[in-house]
Structure 1
Amino acid sequence: MEAEKVLKMDESISSRKVKAVNLETFIFLGVLVIGFGYIASVMGAGIMFKVIMNTAHDLLLNTVFLIMAMAVLAGALSALLSEFGVISLINKLFKGFMKPLYGLPGASITGAIATYLSDNPAIISFAKDKNFTKYFKKHEIPALCNLGTAFGMGLILTTFMISQGKEYALPAIIGNISAIIGSIISVRIMLYFTKRFYNYDCSKDINTNNLKNDTEYREIRDGNIFQRILDAMLEGGKNGVEMGIAIIPGVLVVCTMVMILTFGPSTDPITGAPIYTGAAYEGIALLPIIGEKLSFILEPLFGFTSPEAIAFPITSLGAVGAAMSLVPQFIIDGVITPNDIAVFTAMGMTWSGYLSTHVGMMDALNARGLTSKAIISHTIGGICAGMSAHFLYMLLS
């Protein structure tokens, strides 16, 4: 019933009637022509379409299917944890920690851990499990998107930073602490939006009155332990497949555009000159240019000593894995400091490519109408995480 209600609310947002042709028609055409015209003027029209197709194809094969595989495994794990009461135990243990800080039930920490060990969409598999969502009120479920994204690829990013040198161990730890701060801010802002979106009233929320009774008991599957384990894994994995299919449009459309705006041309293997070949992930590098123009604001906030460092958080908007590849060369060139590593870890983990995953994740949560709010909340959370890392590093060093 709740999912149907959310779907109806989303449909009401996207099905308003307006004049067949109005001012926004011409504004949209103008933006479309200017946008694609500018990209085509940089790389050529033919190359532009080739890059778009190759990037989308590579994202489908190497990103979407990877996320789907991860979601299947996370879904199976989620179902097992629910079936044998582990999530119920976690909810009891961490309720006093998660509720005051995040405003979410203790069970939500399970999703955060899952994304820390893997990537952002892992939390969606938990959100599809009714034995997990029973601990949440309806306005709290969309906030799981922000919570999970704030810890995406955390373990991989942290170990990568530490592997760059022993002097980066402390900055990486500071970055983790700062990511927690950013996640709290992001989730709290998101909860403010979701309460307004759902017209949340504590006194009228049925779940508030029945939550205690619902969480005192849990449903289990019929059969012996082996049958229950097998059924839980298969059903949880099936939810992961459905989630993987649901995120395809968001990842392919949004991430393709973000990649084109983030990365630059390829390098000629013979001359070393920049060249457009139509390969996947080539682009016009517009976002780093914008970041460099804003360096007079960003550098005091994050403590960057070089304008090149802006490229890491900007690239993290699209893919933190791609941003990580920048770090070794930054270290070789001597353009970053341990402070920058702390900020990189905090912002890379908090943002972790959220522009390319938030759309699909919110769609999978049946909360498409809140996508823009989730992005705004997480943008603020990531900036706060980076600032926290800078000031914490200054304090501790």
Structure 2
Amino acid sequence: MENKTKKRSLLPNGCLCVLIVVALFGYLGYVMGVPNMLNTIMKTAHDLLINTVFYLMSICVITGALGRVFVEFGVVSLLEKLLRPLMKPVFNLPGVSSLGAVMTFLSDNPAIISLANDKRFASFFKKYQYISLTNFGTAFGMGLLVMVFMVGNGFYAAPFIGLFGACCGCVCSTRLMQRFILKAFPQYAHEKAVEIEEEEMTAEESDKPKKSVFIRLLDGLLDGGRSGVDVGIAIIPGVLIISTFVMMFTFGEGANGYDGSAYQGVELLPALAYKINFVFEWLFGFNDPHLVAFPITALGAVGAALSLVPGFIEHGWVDGNAIAVFTAIGMCWSGFLSTHTAMLDSLGYRDLTPKAIIAHTIGGLVAAVCAHLVYMGYTLIFA
């Protein structure tokens, strides 16, 4: 009887999955033709791998090496000390949390978890603050990569305006998450995240072999570069799978119709976005409905979202405002839908995942709106 009930419960999910796959590929095949659809999928994925993923990986290697050198020679500690006075009044977090912001900006979202799992670091936090670190750290994930990518495409002021927008979104997301936590668990306002003895705080400094400056520099560059390769490899599935299908639902047919070339599609997303384009134009200042593909993709993977930008630039859809909004929402969201569950699970608060997702969704939208408004002010002053 148990096996029969299991089969019955699994059947609707299996049917739903088949229906969705058939509907998606059936629609693409109907509009483009099945041979053209298959050729476009393969050629788009191949071109993204060669011309986008390896470019992003090279940025990851350079920024990873730079970030590790900053850690090794105390630049991160210096930045942490400079930012520490802002933490309590702005984010309602202890001063040491600024280290988490710097580390995630230089690397990726999970860097905040490796810090949070350090007992000395966690001992500074109340429980509600400790849990909100997931939202706080995610808002700066892969920030250096996003900034370097945008500057590399010829935009200079807009990415920094986007960084300010991401900070505004981070404040909103972090404080909203803290509010959700305290409403559900008022006792967390006074409970410490970790209880640690004073002896443990001082005992960790063990005798380490001293190294020369050259060896420390070399180790930092190579170890950081290696971690950049790991990040570059990690973004491959997101870029190839998510971006390929987002592009096929964003771009249209070629000049000669559908011929199986890369970057052709059915323009479904712009058609849907066009019906409510006034919302995106009012909130984000988007001049073209195609641009909505970036925030949708950034929900799952910011690397995949960045791969859309060169195509937008080539088609002439992008201006400085769009880059500012892309930087803000890309950095603030930075694929949080694919990382929030694992991050909160590693902290031991999996049940709070829905609240964290709601708070961070709102934070990302606030980041984009702030970037748009600040860019409008910037153009009024410097135009």
TM-score (norm 2): 0.69
Which residue of the partner structure matches residue 11 of structure 1? Answer: none
Assess if the C-alpha contact under 8 Å between 1:42 and 1:284 holds in 2.
yes
Counterpart Cα distance in 2 of 1:70 and 1:325? 19
Which residue of the partner structure matches residue 35 of structure 2? Answer: 46
Assess if the C-alpha contact under 8 Å between 1:291 and 1:314 holds in 2.
no
2:25 to 32, 36, 56: 36
How many equivalent pairs are there? 351
Q: Note the C-alpha offset of 1:293.
A: 0.9
Counterpart Cα distance in 2 of 1:93 and 1:128? 22
Assess if the C-alpha contact under 8 Å between 2:65 and 2:222 holds in 1.
yes
1:349 aligns with 2:327: yes
Deviations 1:225-246 (A, max 9, x none): 2223323333333333333333
1:227 aligns with 2:212: no
Alignment root-mean-square deviation, CA: 4.7
Which residue of the partner structure matches residue 140 of structure 2? Answer: 147
Amino acid at match of 1:89: L
Deviations 1:55-92 (A, max 9, x none): 22223333333333333333323332222333223222
Amino acid at match of 1:238: R
Deviations 1:1-27 (A, max 9, x none): xxxxxxxxxxxxxxxx88673211111
Assess if the C-alpha contact under 8 Å between 1:248 and 1:360 holds in 2.
no
Distance verdict in 2 for CA 1:349–1:214, change over 3 Å: farther
Counterpart Cα distance in 1 of 2:353 and 2:44? 23
Counterpart Cα distance in 2 of 1:386 and 1:127? 23
Distance verdict in 2 for CA 1:394–1:103, change over 3 Å: same
Amino acid at match of 1:62: N
Distance verdict in 2 for CA 1:259–1:95, change over 3 Å: same
Distance verdict in 2 for CA 1:215–1:59, change over 3 Å: farther
How do residues 141-180 of structure 1 correspond to structure 2 at under 5 angstroms?
A: 143-148=136-141, 153-154=146-147, 157=150, 177-180=164-167
Which residue of the partner structure matches residue 244 of structure 1? Answer: 232
2:291 to 300, 308, 312: 312
Deviates more, 1:231-240 or 1:357-366: 357-366
Assess if the C-alpha contact under 8 Å between 1:246 and 1:360 holds in 2.
no
1:261 to 249, 260, 263: 249
1:282 aligns with 2:271: no
Distance verdict in 2 for CA 1:367–1:50, change over 3 Å: farther
What is the SS of the residue equivalent to 1:262? coil
Distance verdict in 2 for CA 1:78–1:127, change over 3 Å: farther
Q: Note the C-alpha offset of 1:349.
A: 0.7
Amino acid at match of 1:347: V
Q: Note the C-alpha offset of 1:222.
A: 2.5
Counterpart Cα distance in 1 of 2:373 and 2:217? 47
Counterpart Cα distance in 1 of 2:218 and 2:81? 26
1:57 aligns with 2:46: yes
Which residue of the partner structure matches residue 7 of structure 1? Answer: none
Counterpart Cα distance in 1 of 2:56 and 2:174? 23
Counterpart Cα distance in 2 of 1:218 and 1:83? 16
What is the SS of the residue equivalent to 2:259? coil
Counterpart Cα distance in 1 of 2:193 and 2:334? 35
Which residue of the partner structure matches residue 108 of structure 2? Answer: 123
Assess if the C-alpha contact under 8 Å between 2:165 and 2:367 holds in 1.
yes
How do residues 208-227 of structure 1 correspond to structure 2 at under 5 angstroms?
A: 209=196, 222-225=209-212, 226-227=214-215
Assess if the C-alpha contact under 8 Å between 1:247 and 1:361 holds in 2.
no
Unaligned runs of 5+ in 2: 1-5, 298-304
Counterpart Cα distance in 2 of 1:240 and 1:172? 21
Deviates more, 1:276-285 or 1:176-185: 176-185
Counterpart Cα distance in 2 of 1:146 and 1:18? 42
Amino acid at match of 2:237: P
Distance verdict in 2 for CA 1:128–1:65, change over 3 Å: farther
1:88 to 74, 77, 94: 77
Unaligned runs of 5+ in 1: 1-16, 115-121, 164-168, 269-274
Distance verdict in 2 for CA 1:354–1:287, change over 3 Å: farther
Distance verdict in 2 for CA 1:85–1:387, change over 3 Å: closer
Assess if the C-alpha contact under 8 Å between 1:76 and 1:237 holds in 2.
yes
Q: Note the C-alpha offset of 1:378.
A: 5.4
What is the SS of the residue equivalent to 1:106? helix
Counterpart Cα distance in 1 of 2:74 and 2:221? 15
How do residues 189-200 of structure 1 correspond to structure 2 at under 5 angstroms?
A: none
Amino acid at match of 1:381: G
Deviations 1:335-392 (A, max 9, x none): x9xxx843x2332112349999557777997979899988765553343234334555
Q: Note the C-alpha offset of 1:131.
A: 11
